[in-house]
Structure 1
Amino acid sequence: MRQVGRYRMRRVLGSGAFATVWLAEDPALEAHVAIKVLAENWANNADVRERFLAEARLLRRVDDPRLVRVFDVGVSDDDEARPYFVMEYIPGGTLDDRISSLSTREALAYGVAAAEAVQVLHDAGVVHRDVKPSNLLIDDRSTPPRLLISDLGSAKVLAESSGFTVTTGTPIYMAPEQIHQTDGFDGRADVYAVAAVTYHLLNGQPAFQDHTAAAVRDRRTDSRPPPLAARLGQPAALDRLLTRSLSWNPAKRPATAADFARELERFLTGDPHRPGREVPTVPTLVFCVVLAAVLFAVTYLWLSR
């Protein structure tokens, strides 16, 4: 493919079962853009075509700086007549490209940014269903770099409209309920995925080595990710947050992506050794009560002299 509309195709940025994303030039604006083109073998499926363009309309409707902007839609004027949509080109690559070089602080910041971006989708009534580092773009033209979601998990929607029976998502980031339920899961599945991404960013390795849907299905329901906070110089509260967020049971996770973002952000904004305010343990409370009683008694006796 050399050209669609006025756009001159340069090279492939990524491809999947239903679409290919190209780097292209817009000669009218003298700028680079990214163009997502429906795969040729689905071009004649009316339902798939409509669902494909629905992603562009949604990105345009939400119009948030944490989502990639859409500029144009169209249909190629060759014999294939494939629908496409034109997006802003983000030159910084994906978060997947940076995992091995991130500091702990950068990993935490990107985890917060990913959760906030996912919350934007949830507020628009969309569950992403495939949050992963390769779907998170980094715009390094700003300081600090800006994170954007580049894909709305459209492969699942397209597969459904094509008549395929598929399991959603990428196994190492996939919430277990996406394996056991073909539908009916909610935004907490995305909370799990964001937590799995955050763990991978912090650790350099995924929380669970489940590279197939079958491995996710067979994992023990009481499985916990290996602790990493102590090695990173972080408090144990970080391990507790990630363990809750990666729980097999959605009810144990933070209720929303925004809640996860707020909890994770404590590790960026608070004392590095004790982010946020933790609930005191019972022995600590007993000690405080006894100490207060002793101080009160001493003060009372002194004043009674």
Structure 2
Amino acid sequence: MKPVSRRDAALVREGNNANKYNVLISDNDGDASFPYRIAERYHCKGFLGSGGSGLVFKAWDDMLQRMVAIKFIRNPSFVARQRLVAEARALAKVNHPSICSIYDIGEPVDEHSSLFMVMELIEGPRLAELAGKLTTTQAIKLIHKLAEGVSELHAVGLVHNDINPGNVIITQQGNEEPMPTLIDLSIAGRPSKQSRPKGFGVTPLFCAPEQREDNEIAADMLEKVDIYSLGALLLFLVSGQAPSKNPAAQLKTIRRRCSPPLRKFILRCLAESPKKRFSSMAEVVGILGELSYYKPNRQPAILAASAGVIVALSVLVTTQLTPSAWSDDEDSEGLVNQASMHALYATQLMHEGKGREARQQAQKSIQHYRQAITLSDGQTIEPLLRLVDFVVTQQQLFSQSELSALLLDTLSLAENINSEQPQLAFAMAKIYYHLAKLHQPRTNVYQRWLEHAKTAIERALSIQPDTPHYRTLECKIDALQNQSSGGTC
């Protein structure tokens, strides 16, 4: 088959006339054909569309017996061809379900025609079709998965440059959660001293401000382009609108769908200056994971998790932990919500076998509880009660020394609260009781903690004598004093 004319190729590239597609890709016998001859192992099965950098066809790979997608790259120069080959090799190293796999790259038979790339065939609705139709949590989880894939892309030294709703296809197998897959990878490139020319293969509504300017983008800032685009996608899914020049105003119109931490996350992604965005896609992945478990005014689900779920914690109670990148809530309630979310996410991470990440989330949970206690300044004891519940309910997750240090630190916070509420006395009794259990081999210390526990629980019962769980703890304290098992409590 002869190469298409410049006029026909232009019509296909711009998509100005659907009938021209049929003329271009069909032979007289009705079978679809590529615009140029390539290896005979590939049989054209139809035209899929035109992307930012080429024409895409559905094809059958006769050798490997599978359907594939083949993209013909538009008129690359010799230098561009070499660069695309190098980048395809890097892409081939990426193995993530959110990144379309690259199978092959090669030259067509016809001279002066087009480079082609053989890719995984991904079929399904585009992300653009889901704008405003998902719950906030569903939207966050989709972008979280996408960010994981882009993070893998960055890890091999590539940036995508044009993440937009049309470049993401949603697939779903059975009862599994939907999986977003990023396509049109032929415009992905390695960071270099100079960025791509202004407007090269990008989608204006979702590209970063620096991509629309004439100035070159510094190599160490190129990954921030993808961070901006992911933030724009998340805003698009939650609000149903592409980002405007004032995304903060857009977010105010959807307050009920967009929690304060989520608003802060999106606005940081969409910061005008790349330097004000997140430092890396890996950081974005971590925070999106946290946000997907953010549940305002909800008890921490980790406390109701089965006893078999172990979150390995390394608690350094004397070390001030770095605040989460998006945790600048100004009220105690917001910090408690964040603490609960981190605890729940830690549980999920442990289910997935990600111990290191789970420890990080658990540390953040404890940190936020402490910040909430300090911020409340005794006006509410809820943050302290949550922290005590977390520590004593999950104490099997700590080493003895870690647990002892954490209980003592929590006790110090409790003693600084001036309140006659029975719940506070009960919380302190629990701390004393568990400190006594930890120090049973040291008789003097053990007895001292037991005496404190007894005094505290009696104070709680003097105010609310008919509270069942107060009575249960009193029974356990008495049993420990009498060296019995406390099994009847």
- Is the TM value for this pair above 0.5? yes
Q: How does 1:242-253 map to 2 (within 5 A)?
A: 242-253=266-277
Partner of 1:182: 216
Instruction: Measure how far apart 1:197 and its partner are.
Output: 0.4
Q: Give the alignment partner of residue 287 of structure 1, picking from 379, 391, 395.
A: 379
Partner of 2:251: 226
Q: Show structure 1 runs of 5+ residues with no match.
A: 209-218
Is 2:316 the partner of 1:191? no
Q: Quick check: which one's helix share is greater?
A: 2
Instruction: Measure how far apart 1:70 and its partner are.
Output: 1.7
Is 2:198 the partner of 1:144? no
Distance 1:128 1:17, change over 3 A: closer
Instruction: Measure how far apart 1:223 and its partner are.
Output: 6.2
Instruction: Measure how far apart 1:173 and its partner are.
Output: 1.6
Paired residue secondary structure (2:251): coil
Paired residue secondary structure (1:101): coil
Q: How does 1:115-154 map to 2 (within 5 A)?
A: 115-141=147-173, 143-152=176-185, 154=187
Is 2:60 the partner of 1:25? yes
Q: Distance in 2 between matches of 1:259 and 1:22?
A: 36
Q: Distance in 1 between matches of 2:224 and 2:188?
A: 19
Paired residue secondary structure (1:131): coil
Instruction: Measure how far apart 1:198 and its partner are.
Output: 0.6
Is 2:240 the partner of 1:240? no
Distance 1:61 1:263, change over 3 A: closer
Greater Rg over alpha carbons, structure: 2
TM-score, normalised to structure 1, is 0.77
Instruction: Measure how far apart 1:224 and its partner are.
Output: 5.3
The answer to whether the 8 Å contact 1:156/1:166 transfers is no
**Counterpart residue type for residue 31 of structure 1:** R
**Counterpart residue type for residue 171 of structure 2:** D
Instruction: Measure how far apart 1:97 and its partner are.
Output: 3.3
Q: Distance in 2 between matches of 1:91 and 1:82?
A: 24
Q: Distance in 2 between matches of 1:76 and 1:62?
A: 25
The answer to whether the 8 Å contact 2:107/2:115 transfers is yes
Q: Give the alignment partner of residue 279 of structure 2, picking from 239, 255, 263.
A: 255
Partner of 1:62: 94
Is 2:202 the partner of 1:167? no
The answer to whether the 8 Å contact 1:53/1:85 transfers is no
Q: Distance in 2 between matches of 1:280 and 1:255?
A: 27
Q: Distance in 1 between matches of 2:186 and 2:107?
A: 22
TM-score, normalised to structure 2, is 0.51
**Counterpart residue type for residue 61 of structure 2:** D
The answer to whether the 8 Å contact 2:236/2:242 transfers is yes
Paired residue secondary structure (1:292): coil
Q: Distance in 2 between matches of 1:172 and 1:202?
A: 16
The answer to whether the 8 Å contact 1:11/1:23 transfers is yes
Is 2:138 the partner of 1:106? yes
Instruction: Measure how far apart 1:126 and its partner are.
Output: 1.8
The answer to whether the 8 Å contact 1:96/1:133 transfers is yes
The answer to whether the 8 Å contact 2:69/2:120 transfers is yes
Q: Distance in 2 between matches of 1:285 and 1:131?
A: 45
Distance 1:182 1:281, change over 3 A: farther
User: Deviations for 1:3-29, whole angstroms, at most 9, x for unmatched residues?
Assistant: 431212232223246421111122344
Structure with higher RCO (Cα < 8 A, 6+ apart): 1
Root mean square deviation, CA, Å: 3.6
Partner of 1:49: 81
Distance 1:83 1:205, change over 3 A: same
User: Deviations for 1:87-126, whole angstroms, at most 9, x for unmatched residues?
Assistant: 1101224322333533333211111112111111221122
The answer to whether the 8 Å contact 2:159/2:188 transfers is no
The answer to whether the 8 Å contact 1:68/1:87 transfers is yes
Distance 1:16 1:151, change over 3 A: closer
Distance 1:230 1:183, change over 3 A: closer
Paired residue secondary structure (2:93): helix
The answer to whether the 8 Å contact 1:34/1:86 transfers is yes
Instruction: Measure how far apart 1:202 and its partner are.
Output: 1.0
User: Deviations for 1:18-73, whole angstroms, at most 9, x for unmatched residues?
Assistant: 4211111223444321001123xx26x31222233333222113333332112222
Distance 1:228 1:78, change over 3 A: same
**Counterpart residue type for residue 187 of structure 1:** E
Instruction: Measure how far apart 1:229 and its partner are.
Output: 5.2
Q: Quick check: which one's strand share is greater?
A: 1
Distance 1:146 1:155, change over 3 A: closer
The answer to whether the 8 Å contact 1:38/1:49 transfers is no
The answer to whether the 8 Å contact 2:160/2:188 transfers is no
Which moved further from structure 2: 65-74 or 223-232?
A: 223-232
Q: Distance in 2 between matches of 1:70 and 1:171?
A: 26
